[in-house]
Structure 1
């Protein structure tokens, strides 16, 4: 579902302000490079700019009306003067850029304006990039190019120098939660996902992932047995944790999930219940928060962060987790 101007402005306020000023002053660039992480709205903003340029009755002089023939065709992906290029397999080939050039050598079908978007512009072959460079050096009047990338450093400097570079910031947790809810994610799960990643596509994948659902249960169980006995915690490591968290990335994800439990306990102690992310466990967590101190929680969180550092320094994962469990249990009664 296409987002309107106001919805995208809430996600990327700086980007939309720049584009609004360009449109109102009649200074839309010949070429833009949208640069930022996956899931930050680059493609949606590309289509929004296209609608702003082609809209027959823009509101306030820049907002697409979303109702005219041009806006509707752009939303449906079938406007004859807007062309979208993405990798054919692993890369964008020279033939794809040449086809684009041929298309743009013709007059616009319905106006003198034309716009093209290139997704994953960093994946152009050298020949494709050189073809595009010639295209950018001699822009046709009324032509707008939008290149999109997560890896601006992979693009030829000569191409970068001909584009207005616009940086897309990662989504804030608040915006992330809203976007996840819009995509039908359970309101109980969205806050946790928003803390783990600011890439909403990755968050949606995690939401559907059985491994991740099981990971959360194992992490909560590990926390609960930590409060009981060292022996039981070691048994849980052997019988559950090590069988589920095998790869380095998986262990890292598990440590992040564990860290969020301790953060929630601290938020509860600080009276910030609105910031907790394990919403399904909130009543139990409120009980646990009474049984520890803020100082102890801070020490435990520091131990988890240290374990993450050791994991990336390639410490043996089994030793690392056993050492962490012992540290988390030291003085685990009320301090």
Structure 2
């Protein structure tokens, strides 16, 4: 679904303000670098900027009309003077950049204007980067380039120096929750999803993902048995955890869920129940929060964060989880 200027302005107000100012002052840059986390609206705002450049009925506040021939064609990805380059396999290859240059050497099909977006610009091969650099060094006055990346440190400094950088900030959980509810997610489920990802699309996928629904149940069960004895917790690891959480990404997701349970307990103790994310489990969590201390919860959260670091450093996942369970149960009692 195409997002309007107003919708995207809610997500990235500072970025939209800078873009609007560039139109007001007639200083649209010949090259932009949009950098920020996945799901922060970089591609959507890149297309929005492109529509403002090509719109046949541009409004007084420089917002595209979304209804003219050019706006519609950009929305449908078939405008002849707007080109999008994405990785071919694992990288953007030199032939893709050369093909782009050849296309731009021709006169615009419908005007002198041309625009191109390079998605995951950090994935350009060395030869592709050098080819693009030559392109950027001799900009056509009517050409606008938009490079989009989550990892600007992977892009040649000489390319970065020729771009105006716009930083995209992570979406606040409140905005994420609002957007998710508007997209049909149950208000009770939205806060948890908003804590796990900054991407609306990924959150919507998780919302209907059976693996994720089961993961939440396993995590709550693991927390409950942790409160009993180490033997039962180890049995639960073998019977439930290891068969379900198989690769590193899934295990990290599981640890994130476990961490959020402890955060909820802490919020309850601080009398900030409105901030808990396991809304459907609030009654049980309230009982659990009465049986532990804030100091103990903080220690357990630190242990989970340490486990996440060990996993990222390629520690054996089974050994890491067994160590974590023992760490979470340290002391003569769970409290």
Where on the TM-score scale, by shorter chain, does this alignment land: which range? 0.7 to 0.9
TM-score (norm 2): 0.88
Shift of 1:163: 1.2
Instruction: State the partner residue of 1:122.
Output: 122
Unaligned regions of 5+ residues in structure 1, if any? none
Residues matched between the structures, number: 332
TM-score (norm 1): 0.88
Instruction: State the partner residue of 1:320.
Output: 323
Shift of 1:157: 2.2
Contact 1:56 1:70 (8 Å CA) reproduced:
yes
| Per-residue CA distance 1:177-210 (angstroms, 9 max, x = gap) | 2333344434332211221222344434433443
CA distance 1:235–1:126, shift in 2 (3 Å):
closer
More off after superposition, 247-256 vs 84-93: 247-256
Q: For residues 159 and 56 of structure 2, what CA distance do their matches in structure 1 show?
A: 32
Q: For residues 312 and 33 of structure 1, what CA distance do their matches in structure 2 show?
A: 29
Q: For residues 202 and 222 of structure 1, what CA distance do their matches in structure 2 show?
A: 25
Instruction: State the partner residue of 1:279.
Output: 279
Residue 99 of structure 2 corresponds to residue 99 of structure 1? yes
More off after superposition, 57-66 vs 241-250: 241-250
Instruction: State the partner residue of 1:2.
Output: 2
Shift of 1:25: 0.4
Residue 248 of structure 2 corresponds to residue 270 of structure 1? no
Shift of 1:63: 1.3
Shift of 1:29: 0.3
Instruction: State the partner residue of 2:334.
Output: 332
Q: For residues 91 and 311 of structure 1, what CA distance do their matches in structure 2 show?
A: 27
Instruction: State the partner residue of 2:108.
Output: 108
Q: For residues 318 and 4 of structure 1, what CA distance do their matches in structure 2 show?
A: 45
Instruction: State the partner residue of 1:190.
Output: 190
Q: How large is the RMSD of aligned CA atoms in angstroms?
A: 2.5
Q: For residues 111 and 332 of structure 1, what CA distance do their matches in structure 2 show?
A: 71
Large movers: runs of 4+ above 6 Å: none
Q: For residues 232 and 89 of structure 1, what CA distance do their matches in structure 2 show?
A: 45
Unaligned regions of 5+ residues in structure 2, if any? none
Instruction: State the partner residue of 1:61.
Output: 61
